[in-house]
Each structure stands twice: as structure tokens, then as C-alpha cells.
Structure 1
Amino acid sequence: MNDTIKERTIENGYTKGFVVGEGGVLKMDEGGGVSTATTAMYNAAWFAGLEFVQARAHSIWISRYKPGREATVSWDDFDMKFKNNTPNAIFIQAKMTDESITVTLWGDRQWQKVGSVFGEPSEKVPFKIIYSQEKDCRAQSGVDGFLIDVDRTFYRGGKVVKTETYTTRYKPSPTVICGVDPNPPKPIPTPTPTPSPSGEPSATPSVIVVR
């Protein structure tokens, strides 16, 4: 994917959009939003039954995506790649509007159908609430972290003949409130040092018992 969409810079025509920053806090950066195209491409490959070579979900769950069936990219870090494991070529067609991206793959159908079965989220980690007085603070709603399994099911003759399980662990993303914390944590008091005893230390005699 990175080879196609290139490095996310102003020179390459990118503007700023939301990206996942440290601690799951969203921030503005060049190329923010390319994961929308990446996830559309990922889902097209998913339902075509193609082989994934490299794919990584977001570190936090973003509600516009299906949990465990989405992907993102990072320049010079990680990519989204899939392999054409069909006997013939595949033509990739992408269309975009102001509200959607649609990716269609044209080629020889290898499976009657490819589906997905979502497990129940487990191992939930509650999100925190943080206050920020940064100049560029942007409020956001928190989302719990969780673990989820998604089965990729392959059909022939009306039956599931193959299943792949994809496991994703999302970290919690905090609720961000722009402003002063009304209940700031109290500082930990510094303990009063204990004075050292005065005078010369006395030696404790050693006792040796010989039997």
C-alpha cells in the first residue's frame, strides 16, 4: 500500500488529518485519514479471499471500522500487503466520493463466498479521562481496550470449507477534556528525614562457640 500512496507529505499532495498519537490521543498530522483507503482495500482483499502478506490494525478501535477487520499503514514502519494467489491477473478499481471509498476487485472467483464471523470482545481495559491545556487540544470520547477474534470463512457448495482466525488486541483510548482538571491529583508529601544517631557507634562483639 505504501508504494502506491507514497510518503504522506505536503509535497506529495497530502493535507493534515487525524492520526493516532501517543497514548491513543488523536492529533492532526500530514496524511491523516489514509487508513480509510487502506481499510477499503483490505476489505476488498478479504472478501476476494486473497492472501494477506502484511497487515496491522489500528492500536485503538475507531468506531467507523469493523473491529478486527480493518488496517492501517505507517511510512517506513509497517504496511498493508496482500498476494494475488489466484491463477490470473486481478484488476483493482477504486471510486471515491465526498462520503465514501469503494474498492472493487475484478478477476476469477476462487470461492463461492467469503464471509466474516465476529467473536465477542473480551479482556476489556477501561479508558481513562485526561484533561489537557495544550493549545491544539481536541476533545475526544474514550473507548475501552479489548481483544477480539474474527473468523474469515471460505465457502464452496454452500458450506464452510476453510476458516482463518484473526486476533486483534486494541488498547484503550482516553476521553480527552480540554481544560483544567477540577480535581487535580494531590502532590505526594516529602517524608521528613530521620536524624542520624550522635556519638561513636559501638561494636557488637562476635561470639564463637567451639564444641
Structure 2
Amino acid sequence: MTGIRLHDVELVPERTLGRPADDAPLRGRLTFGWDLLPVGHAGAPAGWLSYLSATPDREFRHLLMVCSFRPETPESRGVFRHASLGVALSAPERDAQPIARLIDPGERTHPVPGPGTGVSFTVTTGVLDVGVEKPPGSGPAREEWIVRGHGASQPNPQWEFRRVKGLPLVGDHPVAALVELVPDCTNTAEVLVAAELEHRSWGIRRYRARLTPTPHTIVLAE
């Protein structure tokens, strides 16, 4: 998180039939920030350094991005259910495009408790027999994904974020891409963010982030 300045992001509701008249943009619920890190630094994800050593003739940027989700408040109702962060890489001066050769995470998981046990009742000749019944498939905690990345070796990587049982979608969620640059020209990354919030009275509402030019277009190289 060092060196990353988080920008407040306004969430604008998508227009849908039956949308409440007072369904105003949400402010103060989502922040976004980014940083360009040295590609060979010691804290790079596992496997990145070996990839870089195998491609010494190419130029890369380590693009680190952070989405920070905040819990609902009395003034801003709704809990985050799902969100997505997309990046469109381009080199406007050339026909070629920068490529996100490696992304992190491919998948980030969290343990979720399995189904519990049930209670069975049997009456035999007037005697109540109480037993414990284990439903099919029940067992120890299983791993569920909370962040999932797509688009490795593509110019348009994307990450999905979701809540799971016992873990709301709140707090900081960092993701990263190792971007191979198009040499000797400007390389940029345009950021798009969308989110779904669940309201007690409205149900699920979809929002698009209104990003200002500062966090929206990231200059990777000039």
C-alpha cells in the first residue's frame, strides 16, 4: 500500500425499470488507487522474477491497483455483493497493444464453513429417539474465491470481487499486472469499475464508477 493514493469514486446507478426516484449516486463507499513499481522488486508475486529473467530483451511495468470497499452507513445504504475492475491497455501511436503477461491474483480464496449437521427424530413403540444426521456433502470448511482474475496474456485483464459467507466485501483488495510495453511510444491503461450492491428495500442495484481522468487513465510509459 506504500505510495498509493486512494481516490474517492462516485458510483452511478444504472438506469433500470422500477428504479427508485431517489436512487442517487453513492459517494464515500469506494476508493481506487494505483502505483507503478520496479518490475524486479523483492515483493513481486511468485514466478514474476523468473519470467522477467527469461525475457531480458523486453520492457515491462508492474502495475499495482487497489480497490477499497467501505461498509454501509445510515446515510449510504446497501452492502457490496460483487464488483469488477477492468483495464484496457493501449498504445495510441501504434497498431500494437501492451499486454498483461502475468496477473495477480489468478484467484484469491477464503475458507467458508461447510453445511452443518441436522437432527433426526424417530418414534418407535412410544420411545422418542433423537439422532444426529449428517447431510450429504457436509464436512470441513471449503475454499471459495473472493477475487478472481482473467485475461493473462491479453490487453484487457479483469478482476472480479465478491462477498462469501462470513466475509463481506469490505476493505482493501490489491491486484496487479505485469504489463509488457510497446517500445518507444506512449502506453496507457484505462480503468473501468462496476459494482453490485444489495439493498434491504430495493434488492440488487448495479452501479458504474464515475472516474475522473486522474485515476481513470494511467500512463505506463511516455
- TM over 0.5, yes or no? no
TM-score (norm 1): 0.22
Higher relative contact order (CA 8 A, sep 6+): 2
Name the structure where helix makes up a greater proportion of residues.
1
Name the structure where strand makes up a greater proportion of residues.
2
